[in-house]
């Protein structure tokens, strides 16, 4: 069974594009919520992300991972692949 990966994005956000590129490179299927200009969706994301309003916000199996830098840090530490398994 593969991990349930969800990512909240803004279509032109370079950090969002970079995070999606890493997930795609790893062959991970993910659900993307593009919330361009949708303040209601951003508020809902913020609640789920314990106050985080920056983009992207990434969740793996309903666990809040954080943003792009957090995703890349997990990968550099060798901790991302086990989460995605």
Going by C-alpha positions, the residue among 17, 54, 10, 14 that lies closest to residue 34 is 10
Q: How many helices (H) and strands (E) does the chain have?
A: 4, 4
For the chain, which residues score pLDDT lower than 70? Answer: 1
Domains of the chain: total: 1
Q: Do residues 57 and 64 make contact, with C-beta atoms less than 8 angstroms apart?
A: yes
Q: What is the CATH number of the domain that holds 66?
A: 3.40.30.10
Contacts of 69 (CB under 8 A, 6+ apart): 15
Q: So what's the pLDDT on residue 1?
A: 59
Q: So what's the pLDDT on residue 2?
A: 85
Range of the domain at 53: 5-84
């Amino acid at each position: 069974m593969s991990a349930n990966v969800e990512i909240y994005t803004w279509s032109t956000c370079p950090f969002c594009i970079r995070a999606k590129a890493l997930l795609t490179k790893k062959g991970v299927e993910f659900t993307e919520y593009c919330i361009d200009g949708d303040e209601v969706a951003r508020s809902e994301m913020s609640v789920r992300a314990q106050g985080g309003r920056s983009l992207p916000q990434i969740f793996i199996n309903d666990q809040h991972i954080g943003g792009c830098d957090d995703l890349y840090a997990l990968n550099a530490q060798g901790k991302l692949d086990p989460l995605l398994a």
